[in-house]
Chains A and B, each alone.
Chain A
Amino acid sequence: MTALPPSISEYVLHLTMEQQLPAFFVLDQEGRLCEWGGRPERYGISPLNQEPDAELFPFLHGIVPLGDEPVFFPCVETAPNVFADIHVFHREGKNWVLLLDVSADALRQQQMQQRLNEIALQRKPGN
Protein backbone atom coordinates (compact mmCIF):
# COMPACT_ATOMS: atom_id res chain seq x y z
CA MET A 1 0.00 0.00 0.00
CA THR A 2 1.21 3.53 -0.73
CA ALA A 3 0.57 6.54 1.47
CA LEU A 4 -2.66 8.46 0.99
CA PRO A 5 -2.48 12.10 -0.05
CA PRO A 6 -3.81 14.50 2.61
CA SER A 7 -6.93 15.32 0.62
CA ILE A 8 -7.93 11.66 0.81
CA SER A 9 -6.97 11.02 4.42
CA GLU A 10 -8.76 14.19 5.48
CA TYR A 11 -11.81 13.14 3.53
CA VAL A 12 -11.78 9.70 5.15
CA LEU A 13 -11.36 11.27 8.57
CA HIS A 14 -14.27 13.58 7.88
CA LEU A 15 -16.44 10.64 6.79
CA THR A 16 -15.59 8.74 9.96
CA MET A 17 -16.37 11.72 12.15
CA GLU A 18 -19.70 12.24 10.39
CA GLN A 19 -20.87 8.66 10.14
CA GLN A 20 -19.18 6.75 12.93
CA LEU A 21 -19.41 9.35 15.67
CA PRO A 22 -16.26 8.33 17.53
CA ALA A 23 -16.11 8.44 21.30
CA PHE A 24 -12.91 7.76 23.17
CA PHE A 25 -11.93 7.08 26.75
CA VAL A 26 -8.56 6.83 28.45
CA LEU A 27 -8.38 4.37 31.33
CA ASP A 28 -5.79 3.50 33.92
CA GLN A 29 -4.74 -0.13 34.43
CA GLU A 30 -7.62 -0.76 36.84
CA GLY A 31 -10.11 0.53 34.31
CA ARG A 32 -10.75 3.89 36.00
CA LEU A 33 -11.64 6.71 33.66
CA CYS A 34 -8.97 9.43 33.28
CA GLU A 35 -10.04 11.30 30.17
CA TRP A 36 -12.65 11.18 27.45
CA GLY A 37 -13.93 12.94 24.38
CA GLY A 38 -15.85 12.72 21.13
CA ARG A 39 -19.50 11.65 21.37
CA PRO A 40 -19.93 9.48 24.49
CA GLU A 41 -23.60 10.53 24.81
CA ARG A 42 -24.33 8.79 21.50
CA TYR A 43 -23.57 5.48 23.21
CA GLY A 44 -25.54 6.21 26.35
CA ILE A 45 -22.35 6.81 28.29
CA SER A 46 -22.31 9.95 30.42
CA PRO A 47 -19.18 10.09 32.55
CA LEU A 48 -20.38 13.27 34.28
CA ASN A 49 -23.93 12.45 35.38
CA GLN A 50 -23.18 8.94 36.35
CA GLU A 51 -25.17 7.21 39.08
CA PRO A 52 -22.78 6.48 41.94
CA ASP A 53 -23.01 2.71 41.51
CA ALA A 54 -23.54 2.55 37.78
CA GLU A 55 -20.87 0.86 35.81
CA LEU A 56 -19.65 2.99 32.94
CA PHE A 57 -18.19 0.19 30.86
CA PRO A 58 -19.94 -3.14 31.45
CA PHE A 59 -18.34 -4.44 28.26
CA LEU A 60 -14.86 -4.14 29.79
CA HIS A 61 -15.61 -6.56 32.55
CA GLY A 62 -13.20 -9.50 32.45
CA ILE A 63 -10.55 -7.74 30.37
CA VAL A 64 -9.54 -5.28 33.10
CA PRO A 65 -6.72 -5.09 34.20
CA LEU A 66 -5.91 -4.45 30.59
CA GLY A 67 -3.14 -6.39 28.91
CA ASP A 68 -1.02 -5.37 25.97
CA GLU A 69 -3.14 -7.28 23.48
CA PRO A 70 -5.75 -5.16 21.72
CA VAL A 71 -9.35 -6.30 22.16
CA PHE A 72 -12.11 -5.93 19.61
CA PHE A 73 -15.81 -6.41 20.39
CA PRO A 74 -17.83 -5.81 17.25
CA CYS A 75 -21.40 -4.56 17.32
CA VAL A 76 -22.19 -4.19 21.01
CA GLU A 77 -25.57 -2.66 21.83
CA THR A 78 -24.59 0.06 24.31
CA ALA A 79 -28.00 1.80 24.38
CA PRO A 80 -31.34 0.77 22.86
CA ASN A 81 -30.80 0.38 19.10
CA VAL A 82 -27.32 1.90 19.31
CA PHE A 83 -24.55 -0.47 18.24
CA ALA A 84 -20.84 0.20 18.59
CA ASP A 85 -17.67 -1.47 17.43
CA ILE A 86 -15.50 -1.35 20.52
CA HIS A 87 -11.72 -1.23 20.22
CA VAL A 88 -9.48 -1.40 23.28
CA PHE A 89 -5.79 -0.84 22.73
CA HIS A 90 -2.62 0.41 24.31
CA ARG A 91 -0.73 3.26 22.71
CA GLU A 92 1.71 5.94 23.91
CA GLY A 93 1.56 4.61 27.44
CA LYS A 94 -2.22 4.90 27.67
CA ASN A 95 -5.18 2.52 27.48
CA TRP A 96 -7.65 3.70 24.90
CA VAL A 97 -11.22 2.64 24.40
CA LEU A 98 -12.65 3.71 21.06
CA LEU A 99 -16.33 3.38 20.13
CA LEU A 100 -17.48 3.64 16.54
CA ASP A 101 -21.14 3.73 15.60
CA VAL A 102 -22.31 0.83 13.43
CA SER A 103 -26.04 1.13 14.20
CA ALA A 104 -27.21 1.64 10.63
CA ASP A 105 -25.47 -1.52 9.40
CA ALA A 106 -26.57 -3.49 12.44
CA LEU A 107 -30.22 -2.60 12.01
CA ARG A 108 -30.09 -3.47 8.30
CA GLN A 109 -28.44 -6.77 9.09
CA GLN A 110 -30.99 -7.41 11.82
CA GLN A 111 -33.84 -7.19 9.34
CA MET A 112 -32.14 -9.44 6.81
CA GLN A 113 -31.15 -12.00 9.42
CA GLN A 114 -34.62 -12.00 10.88
CA ARG A 115 -36.13 -12.99 7.53
CA LEU A 116 -33.54 -15.68 6.85
CA ASN A 117 -33.99 -17.21 10.29
CA GLU A 118 -37.78 -17.11 10.08
CA ILE A 119 -37.63 -18.96 6.77
CA ALA A 120 -35.18 -21.51 8.18
CA LEU A 121 -37.38 -22.12 11.23
CA GLN A 122 -40.48 -22.58 9.06
CA ARG A 123 -38.70 -25.20 6.97
CA LYS A 124 -38.07 -27.38 10.01
CA PRO A 125 -40.62 -30.11 10.55
CA GLY A 126 -42.41 -29.56 13.84
CA ASN A 127 -42.05 -25.80 13.73
Chain B
Amino acid sequence: MSLQSNKILIIGGGIQGCATAYFLAKRGQNVTLIEKDRIGRHASGVNAGGVRRLGRDVLEIPLSLAAMDIWQNLYQEIGEYAKDFHPCFYLKVAVDEAGREIGLMRAEDLSRAGFTHEVWVEDDHIQARLPHLSTPTHGGLLVEGDGWATPWRIVQGFANVAKKHGAKIIEDCRVTSLTKFQDFWQIQTAKGLFEAESVVNCAGAWAAGIARLADDHIFPLEAYAPMLVVTDKRPKILPAVMGVVAHTLSLKQLETGQFVIGGGVRSKASPSINQSDVLLPKLSSSMKLASKLFSEIGNAQVVRCWSGIEGYMPDNLPIIGRGRQNGLFHGFGFSAHGFQLGPGVGEALADLVMGQQPRISLEAFRPDRFVN
Protein backbone atom coordinates (compact mmCIF):
# COMPACT_ATOMS: atom_id res chain seq x y z
CA MET B 1 0.00 0.00 0.00
CA SER B 2 1.30 3.44 -0.79
CA LEU B 3 2.45 5.75 1.95
CA GLN B 4 0.25 8.77 2.56
CA SER B 5 2.08 11.83 3.71
CA ASN B 6 0.47 14.48 5.91
CA LYS B 7 1.54 17.35 8.01
CA ILE B 8 -0.89 16.67 10.84
CA LEU B 9 -2.79 13.51 11.63
CA ILE B 10 -5.61 13.44 14.16
CA ILE B 11 -6.72 10.18 15.76
CA GLY B 12 -10.39 10.06 16.76
CA GLY B 13 -13.53 11.46 15.12
CA GLY B 14 -15.33 12.69 18.23
CA ILE B 15 -16.04 16.34 18.98
CA GLN B 16 -12.43 16.98 20.07
CA GLY B 17 -10.90 15.45 16.96
CA CYS B 18 -13.37 17.06 14.57
CA ALA B 19 -13.13 20.52 16.16
CA THR B 20 -9.33 20.31 16.10
CA ALA B 21 -9.40 19.25 12.45
CA TYR B 22 -11.66 22.18 11.66
CA PHE B 23 -9.55 24.85 13.35
CA LEU B 24 -6.38 23.50 11.75
CA ALA B 25 -7.89 23.22 8.28
CA LYS B 26 -9.42 26.66 8.56
CA ARG B 27 -5.93 28.01 9.16
CA GLY B 28 -4.73 26.31 6.02
CA GLN B 29 -3.01 23.31 7.58
CA ASN B 30 -2.75 19.98 5.79
CA VAL B 31 -4.68 17.70 8.12
CA THR B 32 -6.09 14.18 8.07
CA LEU B 33 -8.45 12.74 10.66
CA ILE B 34 -8.65 9.00 11.19
CA GLU B 35 -11.60 7.35 12.94
CA LYS B 36 -11.82 3.64 13.67
CA ASP B 37 -15.62 3.58 13.38
CA ARG B 38 -17.78 6.46 12.20
CA ILE B 39 -17.70 10.17 13.01
CA GLY B 40 -19.55 10.76 16.28
CA ARG B 41 -20.20 7.06 16.86
CA HIS B 42 -19.04 7.20 20.48
CA ALA B 43 -19.33 9.63 23.43
CA SER B 44 -19.52 12.69 21.20
CA GLY B 45 -22.54 11.52 19.24
CA VAL B 46 -24.58 9.95 22.02
CA ASN B 47 -24.06 12.24 25.01
CA ALA B 48 -26.70 14.28 26.81
CA GLY B 49 -25.84 17.33 24.74
CA GLY B 50 -25.52 19.50 27.80
CA VAL B 51 -23.78 22.73 26.86
CA ARG B 52 -23.08 24.02 30.32
CA ARG B 53 -20.59 26.18 32.11
CA LEU B 54 -22.54 25.60 35.30
CA GLY B 55 -20.92 23.50 37.97
CA ARG B 56 -17.51 23.28 36.31
CA ASP B 57 -14.36 22.76 38.34
CA VAL B 58 -12.89 26.23 38.88
CA LEU B 59 -9.74 25.08 37.08
CA GLU B 60 -11.82 24.24 34.03
CA ILE B 61 -13.88 27.42 33.87
CA PRO B 62 -11.56 29.49 31.65
CA LEU B 63 -11.57 26.73 29.02
CA SER B 64 -15.33 26.36 29.36
CA LEU B 65 -15.84 30.12 28.90
CA ALA B 66 -13.55 30.15 25.87
CA ALA B 67 -15.55 27.28 24.40
CA MET B 68 -18.78 29.14 25.11
CA ASP B 69 -17.56 32.10 23.06
CA ILE B 70 -17.47 29.73 20.11
CA TRP B 71 -20.84 28.15 20.91
CA GLN B 72 -22.39 31.60 21.00
CA ASN B 73 -21.18 32.31 17.49
CA LEU B 74 -21.51 28.78 16.26
CA TYR B 75 -23.28 29.74 13.05
CA GLN B 76 -20.16 31.50 11.84
CA GLU B 77 -18.17 28.31 12.32
CA ILE B 78 -20.39 25.44 11.28
CA GLY B 79 -23.30 27.14 9.50
CA GLU B 80 -26.68 25.39 9.34
CA TYR B 81 -25.69 22.75 11.85
CA ALA B 82 -25.60 25.47 14.51
CA LYS B 83 -29.36 25.45 14.69
CA ASP B 84 -29.09 22.21 16.63
CA PHE B 85 -27.75 24.18 19.59
CA HIS B 86 -30.53 25.52 21.80
CA PRO B 87 -29.39 28.13 24.30
CA CYS B 88 -31.73 28.60 27.27
CA PHE B 89 -30.74 28.65 30.92
CA TYR B 90 -29.24 26.06 33.20
CA LEU B 91 -30.48 25.73 36.73
CA LYS B 92 -29.16 23.54 39.50
CA VAL B 93 -31.60 23.65 42.39
CA ALA B 94 -31.15 22.78 46.04
CA VAL B 95 -33.84 20.44 47.33
CA ASP B 96 -32.90 20.72 51.00
CA GLU B 97 -30.98 22.93 53.42
CA ALA B 98 -27.79 20.92 52.97
CA GLY B 99 -27.97 21.55 49.24
CA ARG B 100 -28.53 25.23 49.86
CA GLU B 101 -25.37 25.44 52.00
CA ILE B 102 -23.30 23.76 49.32
CA GLY B 103 -24.79 25.95 46.60
CA LEU B 104 -24.24 29.18 48.52
CA MET B 105 -20.65 28.22 49.20
CA ARG B 106 -20.10 27.50 45.52
CA ALA B 107 -21.53 30.89 44.54
CA GLU B 108 -19.21 32.58 47.01
CA ASP B 109 -16.15 30.72 45.74
CA LEU B 110 -16.96 31.73 42.20
CA SER B 111 -17.44 35.38 42.92
CA ARG B 112 -14.23 35.41 44.94
CA ALA B 113 -12.44 33.98 41.90
CA GLY B 114 -13.96 36.71 39.78
CA PHE B 115 -16.45 34.66 37.79
CA THR B 116 -19.84 36.19 37.17
CA HIS B 117 -21.56 33.74 34.82
CA GLU B 118 -22.91 31.45 37.55
CA VAL B 119 -25.03 33.05 40.26
CA TRP B 120 -27.26 32.12 43.17
CA VAL B 121 -31.00 32.73 42.84
CA GLU B 122 -33.75 32.28 45.40
CA ASP B 123 -36.85 30.13 45.16
CA ASP B 124 -39.21 32.94 44.09
CA HIS B 125 -37.03 33.58 41.05
CA ILE B 126 -37.00 29.88 40.24
CA GLN B 127 -40.76 29.46 40.67
CA ALA B 128 -41.40 32.44 38.43
CA ARG B 129 -39.33 30.98 35.64
CA LEU B 130 -40.49 27.39 36.08
CA PRO B 131 -44.21 27.63 36.82
CA HIS B 132 -44.68 23.86 36.36
CA LEU B 133 -42.27 22.94 39.13
CA SER B 134 -44.03 20.62 41.59
CA THR B 135 -41.93 21.40 44.61
CA PRO B 136 -40.55 24.40 46.44
CA THR B 137 -36.77 24.67 46.22
CA HIS B 138 -34.15 26.00 48.56
CA GLY B 139 -32.73 28.24 45.87
CA GLY B 140 -30.31 27.30 43.15
CA LEU B 141 -27.40 28.12 40.88
CA LEU B 142 -28.18 29.68 37.54
CA VAL B 143 -26.32 30.30 34.29
CA GLU B 144 -28.04 32.26 31.53
CA GLY B 145 -27.29 31.14 28.01
CA ASP B 146 -26.23 27.59 28.76
CA GLY B 147 -28.36 25.07 26.94
CA TRP B 148 -28.34 21.84 25.03
CA ALA B 149 -27.51 20.60 21.57
CA THR B 150 -28.15 17.54 19.43
CA PRO B 151 -24.66 16.15 19.85
CA TRP B 152 -24.42 14.02 16.74
CA ARG B 153 -25.40 16.95 14.54
CA ILE B 154 -22.82 19.25 16.07
CA VAL B 155 -20.03 16.71 15.53
CA GLN B 156 -21.20 16.23 11.94
CA GLY B 157 -21.14 20.01 11.58
CA PHE B 158 -17.50 20.29 12.64
CA ALA B 159 -16.53 17.32 10.47
CA ASN B 160 -18.26 18.86 7.49
CA VAL B 161 -16.70 22.29 7.72
CA ALA B 162 -13.33 20.68 8.36
CA LYS B 163 -13.76 18.85 5.06
CA LYS B 164 -14.85 22.04 3.34
CA HIS B 165 -11.59 23.62 4.42
CA GLY B 166 -9.65 20.73 2.95
CA ALA B 167 -9.26 18.31 5.84
CA LYS B 168 -9.32 14.62 4.91
CA ILE B 169 -11.56 12.42 7.05
CA ILE B 170 -11.16 8.68 6.90
CA GLU B 171 -13.67 6.45 8.66
CA ASP B 172 -13.59 2.73 9.49
CA CYS B 173 -9.85 3.06 9.87
CA ARG B 174 -8.24 1.97 13.12
CA VAL B 175 -4.75 3.12 14.10
CA THR B 176 -2.76 0.05 15.10
CA SER B 177 0.74 1.39 15.60
CA LEU B 178 2.66 4.64 15.94
CA THR B 179 6.38 4.83 15.38
CA LYS B 180 8.65 7.82 15.58
CA PHE B 181 11.40 8.17 12.96
CA GLN B 182 13.61 11.19 13.61
CA ASP B 183 11.13 14.02 13.13
CA PHE B 184 8.13 12.29 11.67
CA TRP B 185 5.61 9.69 12.74
CA GLN B 186 4.73 6.54 10.88
CA ILE B 187 1.17 5.46 11.56
CA GLN B 188 -0.05 2.01 10.70
CA THR B 189 -3.82 1.75 10.15
CA ALA B 190 -6.47 -0.59 8.84
CA LYS B 191 -6.31 1.38 5.59
CA GLY B 192 -2.59 1.55 5.10
CA LEU B 193 0.47 3.39 6.29
CA PHE B 194 0.47 7.14 7.01
CA GLU B 195 3.22 9.58 7.75
CA ALA B 196 2.89 12.85 9.66
CA GLU B 197 4.93 15.51 11.39
CA SER B 198 2.42 15.89 14.21
CA VAL B 199 -0.08 13.48 15.68
CA VAL B 200 -3.03 14.61 17.80
CA ASN B 201 -4.48 11.98 20.10
CA CYS B 202 -8.23 12.60 20.48
CA ALA B 203 -9.11 8.94 20.89
CA GLY B 204 -11.49 9.37 23.83
CA ALA B 205 -11.68 6.34 26.09
CA TRP B 206 -9.09 4.64 23.88
CA ALA B 207 -6.53 7.44 24.14
CA ALA B 208 -4.31 5.87 26.80
CA GLY B 209 -3.88 2.95 24.39
CA ILE B 210 -2.76 5.35 21.65
CA ALA B 211 -0.29 6.92 24.08
CA ARG B 212 1.05 3.44 24.86
CA LEU B 213 1.51 2.71 21.15
CA ALA B 214 3.51 5.92 20.85
CA ASP B 215 5.58 5.04 23.90
CA ASP B 216 4.35 8.20 25.59
CA HIS B 217 3.27 8.66 29.24
CA ILE B 218 1.24 5.97 30.99
CA PHE B 219 -2.14 7.58 31.65
CA PRO B 220 -4.46 6.45 34.46
CA LEU B 221 -7.48 6.66 32.16
CA GLU B 222 -10.53 4.54 32.97
CA ALA B 223 -13.54 3.79 30.81
CA TYR B 224 -17.14 3.86 31.99
CA ALA B 225 -20.50 4.17 30.32
CA PRO B 226 -22.69 7.05 31.52
CA MET B 227 -26.35 6.27 30.93
CA LEU B 228 -29.29 8.29 29.64
CA VAL B 229 -32.97 7.67 29.11
CA VAL B 230 -35.44 9.44 26.89
CA THR B 231 -39.19 9.41 27.51
CA ASP B 232 -42.18 9.62 25.22
CA LYS B 233 -43.52 12.99 24.07
CA ARG B 234 -45.15 15.09 26.80
CA PRO B 235 -46.61 18.59 27.03
CA LYS B 236 -43.89 21.23 27.25
CA ILE B 237 -43.22 22.22 30.85
CA LEU B 238 -39.47 22.65 31.10
CA PRO B 239 -37.74 25.54 29.29
CA ALA B 240 -34.36 24.97 30.99
CA VAL B 241 -31.77 22.30 31.58
CA MET B 242 -31.89 21.26 35.21
CA GLY B 243 -29.82 19.56 37.83
CA VAL B 244 -29.94 19.18 41.60
CA VAL B 245 -27.15 20.37 43.88
CA ALA B 246 -25.10 17.46 45.26
CA HIS B 247 -26.94 14.92 43.10
CA THR B 248 -26.13 13.44 39.75
CA LEU B 249 -29.14 14.44 37.72
CA SER B 250 -29.44 16.20 34.43
CA LEU B 251 -32.87 16.82 33.05
CA LYS B 252 -34.10 18.54 29.92
CA GLN B 253 -37.06 18.54 27.58
CA LEU B 254 -36.49 18.40 23.83
CA GLU B 255 -38.49 20.31 21.23
CA THR B 256 -40.45 17.10 20.65
CA GLY B 257 -41.59 17.17 24.28
CA GLN B 258 -39.45 14.17 25.20
CA PHE B 259 -37.52 14.32 28.45
CA VAL B 260 -33.88 13.29 28.55
CA ILE B 261 -32.81 12.17 32.01
CA GLY B 262 -29.33 11.15 33.09
CA GLY B 263 -26.30 12.71 34.58
CA GLY B 264 -23.33 10.94 36.00
CA VAL B 265 -24.79 7.51 36.71
CA ARG B 266 -22.67 5.07 34.82
CA SER B 267 -22.50 1.45 33.87
CA LYS B 268 -19.77 -0.86 32.62
CA ALA B 269 -17.85 -0.09 29.44
CA SER B 270 -15.66 -2.43 27.42
CA PRO B 271 -13.86 -0.16 24.95
CA SER B 272 -11.90 -3.01 23.37
CA ILE B 273 -15.11 -4.47 21.97
CA ASN B 274 -16.94 -1.16 21.55
CA GLN B 275 -19.49 -2.23 24.13
CA SER B 276 -21.27 -0.24 26.78
CA ASP B 277 -23.87 -1.69 29.12
CA VAL B 278 -27.02 -0.21 30.52
CA LEU B 279 -28.43 -1.13 33.90
CA LEU B 280 -31.64 0.82 34.23
CA PRO B 281 -32.23 0.38 37.97
CA LYS B 282 -29.09 2.37 38.65
CA LEU B 283 -30.97 5.39 37.33
CA SER B 284 -33.82 4.96 39.80
CA SER B 285 -32.71 7.77 42.15
CA SER B 286 -32.36 10.15 39.22
CA MET B 287 -35.87 9.19 38.14
CA LYS B 288 -37.15 9.80 41.64
CA LEU B 289 -35.58 13.26 41.74
CA ALA B 290 -36.88 14.13 38.27
CA SER B 291 -40.43 13.17 39.20
CA LYS B 292 -40.10 15.08 42.42
CA LEU B 293 -39.23 18.23 40.48
CA PHE B 294 -42.06 17.69 38.00
CA SER B 295 -44.65 15.13 39.06
CA GLU B 296 -45.81 14.92 35.43
CA ILE B 297 -42.52 13.22 34.56
CA GLY B 298 -43.45 10.25 36.75
CA ASN B 299 -46.12 9.31 34.22
CA ALA B 300 -43.83 9.60 31.23
CA GLN B 301 -42.81 6.37 29.60
CA VAL B 302 -39.15 5.47 29.23
CA VAL B 303 -38.75 4.89 25.51
CA ARG B 304 -35.05 4.19 25.30
CA CYS B 305 -32.00 3.92 27.47
CA TRP B 306 -28.49 4.11 26.13
CA SER B 307 -24.95 4.74 27.19
CA GLY B 308 -21.68 5.73 25.60
CA ILE B 309 -18.05 4.92 26.29
CA GLU B 310 -16.25 7.74 28.06
CA GLY B 311 -12.69 8.08 29.41
CA TYR B 312 -12.28 9.34 33.00
CA MET B 313 -9.22 10.78 34.73
CA PRO B 314 -8.71 10.38 38.50
CA ASP B 315 -9.11 14.15 39.04
CA ASN B 316 -11.97 14.45 36.54
CA LEU B 317 -9.95 16.97 34.53
CA PRO B 318 -8.93 16.34 30.91
CA ILE B 319 -5.45 15.84 29.50
CA ILE B 320 -4.67 18.62 27.03
CA GLY B 321 -1.16 19.39 25.87
CA ARG B 322 2.13 18.16 24.44
CA GLY B 323 3.13 14.55 25.05
CA ARG B 324 6.48 13.27 26.18
CA GLN B 325 7.32 12.53 22.55
CA ASN B 326 8.00 15.42 20.25
CA GLY B 327 5.22 16.02 17.74
CA LEU B 328 2.58 14.22 19.82
CA PHE B 329 -0.36 16.13 21.30
CA HIS B 330 -3.15 14.93 23.56
CA GLY B 331 -6.76 15.94 24.10
CA PHE B 332 -8.78 13.34 26.01
CA GLY B 333 -10.00 12.22 29.44
CA PHE B 334 -12.99 14.55 29.56
CA SER B 335 -14.63 12.56 32.34
CA ALA B 336 -18.21 12.95 31.10
CA HIS B 337 -18.19 16.70 30.61
CA GLY B 338 -16.21 17.26 27.44
CA PHE B 339 -18.92 17.98 24.91
CA GLN B 340 -19.32 21.63 25.80
CA LEU B 341 -15.53 22.03 25.95
CA GLY B 342 -15.05 20.58 22.45
CA PRO B 343 -14.83 23.77 20.37
CA GLY B 344 -12.52 25.37 22.96
CA VAL B 345 -10.30 22.30 23.01
CA GLY B 346 -10.17 22.23 19.22
CA GLU B 347 -9.02 25.81 19.09
CA ALA B 348 -6.43 25.33 21.85
CA LEU B 349 -5.02 22.15 20.28
CA ALA B 350 -4.79 23.87 16.90
CA ASP B 351 -2.75 26.63 18.57
CA LEU B 352 -0.46 24.13 20.25
CA VAL B 353 0.16 22.10 17.10
CA MET B 354 0.98 25.26 15.18
CA GLY B 355 3.39 26.35 17.90
CA GLN B 356 1.24 29.26 19.05
CA GLN B 357 0.23 30.26 22.55
CA PRO B 358 -3.40 29.23 23.30
CA ARG B 359 -5.56 32.08 24.57
CA ILE B 360 -6.10 30.34 27.91
CA SER B 361 -3.67 28.53 30.16
CA LEU B 362 -3.69 24.74 29.86
CA GLU B 363 -1.60 24.28 32.99
CA ALA B 364 -4.32 22.38 34.89
CA PHE B 365 -4.54 19.84 32.08
CA ARG B 366 -0.83 19.03 31.75
CA PRO B 367 -0.32 15.51 30.43
CA ASP B 368 2.55 14.86 32.83
CA ARG B 369 0.64 15.69 36.00
CA PHE B 370 0.34 12.03 36.97
CA VAL B 371 3.98 11.20 36.32
CA ASN B 372 5.77 10.68 39.61
Determine if chain A interacts with chain B. Answer: no
